[in-house]
Amino acid sequence: MNRLIENATLLTVDPTDTVYPAAPLAMAGDRLVGVGTVPDGFVPDETVDGTDHLVLPGLVNAHTHIPMALFRNYADDLPFWPWLMERIKPMEDHLSAEHVYAGTRLGVLELLQAGVTSFLDMYFFMDQVARGVEESGIRACLCGGLLDPNPELGAFLFKEATHLHDTWHGKAGGRLTVQLGPHSPYLCSAGYLKEAAQEAQRRNIGLHIHVSESREEVANSRGAHGKTPVQYLADLGVLERPTAAAHCVHVDEADQSLLAEYQVKVLHNPTSNLKLANGVAPIPQLLAKGVTVALGTDGHASNNNVNLFEELHLAALLHKGIQADAEAVPAATAIRMATLNGAKALGLEHEIGSLEVGKKADVIMLDARKPHYWPRHNPVAAVTYSAQAADVRHVFINGEWVVKDYAVQTLDPEAVLQEGEALAQDLVRRATA
């Protein structure tokens, strides 16, 4: 089907951050065929009025554990390690496929309503996450979580992760891709990390991993290996694969140079890092070294929502205050972190992340008739500093309506909410019995 959005303000996130006022956007099937102009001979089957709307590429949430929607508001105001080992891990020990499917549906409903069209996820029972992705119409890169506290569990999870790739990579109309997700240097042995990197090389896919999230992690790595987690991964050869590294909060200048050298995509999760008192990643320094920085929310247990507009706002503001530099992360840079840089983290920058002819028609429309968009001095600043998830009126993925007039078209919200509540309470009962 041919669809035409008319008279909208387009924020393209193209190489020059072009903004088109009162302009058209043409979609033919699942591709963009006109950005700012309508191609000759294009006849729309449907026209969407974009008057008083801002149109952007769909947001990319580059680090999630989306089934953890069931954990929302359960383990708050705790230090990182007690939070992880005493509250979160006991819940995860009782997870079933049914829990993960319900949590996925709840999390994806929230993502879509907030204008996120793609996400990068690492968790368990990932076939259930894939099932939720397929049904909902969202785009995702999924990674089976890998850790080896004992050889039996490590082998089982590795088999599950590779089976996920064999079963789901390229499926759901091309909306689903699969990488490998070794959890972290502290939950994976050296041999296991090497095995993951070698398997990723054989399959020509990337890795998604947590790195240098907490001070304790870095201190333990120095004690155990005589080097930081980043240096350790580099020495093991892990970073030779395309790597998306979540957090990177405690990375010194040598680490930053290694991340740049290996073209690691850093996944910045400002809310999660603040909530767990892990600190603030040195994003301006990483950007200055040429590192690609994307934005993520992390899981609901360490953030409480997957609203990428909050991360976009915080990324633009936080570093200004930390650096005492009002230009530390400009508005346009923050938007790029939430769109094109996220696409790069998923290995999909040639398909999504910007409004350019030939790319997938993953598009969101913000209702700018609301008072926080007025007066209309600068649409880029408006998105970075004023826009809210509740402003997302329409969402297209692969050129198809997924959210229309604020309503998700692919899921039954009431059924998702009730199912999520029931399964979350069931999980708590199991974990605390």
Q: Transcribe 296-360 into DSSP letters.
A: ----TTTTS---HHHHHHHHHHHHHHHHT-TTSS-HHHHHHHHTHHHHHHTT-TTTSSS--TTSB
Nearest CA-CA partner of 380 in 336, 334, 332, 340:
332
Residues of the chain with pLDDT under 70: none
> What gap in Å lies between CA 267 and CA 299, rounded to an integer?
13
Nearest CA-CA partner of 303 in 280, 279, 278, 276:
276
In this prediction, residue 241 carries a pLDDT of 97
Nearest CA-CA partner of 251 in 229, 224, 268, 221:
229
Other Cβ atoms less than 10 A from the Cβ of 184: the count is 21
CB distance 146 to 154 below 8 Å: yes
- For residue 54, how far is the Cα from the chain centroid? 21
Residue 274 to residues 247, 311, 386, Cα–Cα distance (Å)? 11, 11, 21
Nearest CA-CA partner of 365 in 398, 396, 386, 411:
396
Residue 202: burial class (beta carbons within 10 Å; 0-12, 13-18, 19+): exposed
What's the whole-model pTM score?
A: 0.97
Number of H helices and E strands in the chain, helices first, is: 16, 17
In this prediction, residue 260 carries a pLDDT of 98
ω into 21 cis (within 30 of 0): no
> What gap in Å lies between CA 350 and CA 157, rounded to an integer?
31
Tokens coding 229: 């987690």
> What gap in Å lies between CA 221 and CA 332, rounded to an integer?
36
Triad 398, 208, 312: Cα angle to 5°: 60
Amino acid at 258: L
CB distance 58 to 348 below 8 Å: no
In this prediction, residue 384 carries a pLDDT of 98
In this prediction, residue 80 carries a pLDDT of 83
Residue 390: burial class (beta carbons within 10 Å; 0-12, 13-18, 19+): middle
Secondary structure element (H or E) that encloses residue 253, with its range: helix 253-261
CB distance 160 to 126 below 8 Å: yes
Residue 375: burial class (beta carbons within 10 Å; 0-12, 13-18, 19+): exposed
pLDDT digits (tens, 9 = 90+) for 200-214: 999 999 999 999 999
